[in-house]
Amino acid sequence: MDDVSKLSAKFETDIKSVRTYKEAEALAMTYLGRNGHINSLLKTMKDLPTEKRKALGSSVNEIKKSIVEHIEKKRKELMKKMEEETDIDVTLPGKAYPAGSLHMVTLAIEEISRIFEKLGFVRMSYPEVEWEYYSFEALNMPKNHPARDDFESFFIDTPSHDDFGKMVLSPHTSSGQVREMLRVGAPPIRMINIAKCYRPNWDVTHTPMFHQFEGLCVDKGITIANLKGTIDYFVKEFFGRQRSIRLRPFHFQFTEPSFEIDVSCGICLGKGTIRNEKCKVCKSGWLELAGAGMVHPNVLKAGGIDPDEFSGWAFGFGIERPMMMKEGLKLNDMRIMYSGDIRFLEQF
């Protein structure tokens, strides 16, 4: 038997033992691949006399054609079998995986940033792990001052720094005020500092981690009128055109004069009553919103700014509470916001 007939006989047995598509692929490589049997046969041709070479050439081509056809046929058979066995309907729609969404606080932060950006405020964030100095002393609250009790804090267990004191988890965003003055160097300053704050409280209206945003504006001739106008603009953008604000005298160590800011209730629209009954949401027509005031001269000095030349205002808002007011949400336990409960979170 010549080499071509031997190869042909071998192929006939080989193809009979092919059971899977993968095996058919492997067989194709063994016979038709670059180093396959067909090419090895063709390589022997060059040493043959012309007549024999021609004859071998044409018989190798014939068997090659037949091998290609047989393997192609086998492949088709096996492909069909595979489809029948797996029973896949390729026209069915795919699986829809649940899509995530941004946390409600993240959405509120984005909206607040956008509103203040329009007024030319620069968005900043300052350290969450902060020196006692920036959290208190720089804000006109010297060591042992009773006002510090209002800002109960988590202290970090590290050695105390000679100038900056201990490290704390920042209890309010006001700690960014003097840092911003020092960063900018000289007025004008228009900053919005949005950050996480920490205080050791854990009940239905408090979580130990919460968010605040702090506004700071320092320049020549800045007055309470600017403060009121800015907050009024924010409230109308964030809560709606029909809402208004009022300032109530208050006391903060870092501002003089100081105020608390109330926003008119979205339910009774500031009247305090609905159809001659007390409004159940606000009871008085107003909801407490934020603290604010004219920056105390000592705070300006701590930031290297001359209080005789410049003046400024500052305010500090929580984020979780105003956000609930905006959504008309009455949560009976605020901690659910940070519980990771998808059933609650996916509603926003």
Binding residues: 256
| Least separation in angstroms between CB 259 and ligand DAH | 8
| Least separation in angstroms between CB 316 and ligand DAH | 3
Tell me the binding residues for Mg(2+). Answer: 256
Residues sharing a CB contact under 8 Å with residue 262, sequence separation 6 or more, in sequence order: 245, 246, 248, 286, 287, 288, 289
User: Could you say which of 169, 292, 300, 302 contacts ligand DAH (CB under 6 A)?
Assistant: 292
Segment near ligand DAH (CB under 6 A); pick from 14-22, 25-33, 115-123, 308-316: 308-316
* 255 is a contact residue toward ligand DAH (CB under 6 A): yes
Task: Give the residue from 187, 157, 235, 195 showing the smallest Cα distance to 319.
Answer: 195
Cα 197–chain centre separation = 18
Question: By CB under 6 A, how many residues form the interface with ligand DAH?
Answer: 11
Q: What string marks each residue from 167 to 186 as x (binds ligand DAH by CB under 6 A) or -?
A: -----x-x------------
Phi and psi based region of residue 304 (left: phi greater than 0; alpha: psi -120 to 50; beta: remaining):
left
User: Could you say which of 187, 293, 303, 322 contacts ligand DAH (CB under 6 A)?
Assistant: 293
Residues between 204 and 223 that touch ligand DAH (CB under 6 A):
214
| Least separation in angstroms between CB 128 and ligand DAH | 14
* 126 is a contact residue toward ligand DAH (CB under 6 A): no
In sequence order, the β-bridge partners of residue 211 are 196
Angle between helices 50-86 and 3-16 (to 10 degrees): 0
User: Could you say which of 176, 270, 285, 316 contacts ligand DAH (CB under 6 A)?
Assistant: 316
Residue among 56 and 320 whose Cβ is closer to ligand DAH: 320
Report the alpha-carbon distance of residue 254 to residue 214 in Å, rounded.
13
User: Could you say which of 124, 245, 314, 319 contacts ligand DAH (CB under 6 A)?
Assistant: 314
Residue among 291 and 322 whose Cβ is closer to ligand DAH: 291
Contact set with ligand DAH (CB under 6 A): 172, 174, 214, 252, 255, 291-293, 314-316
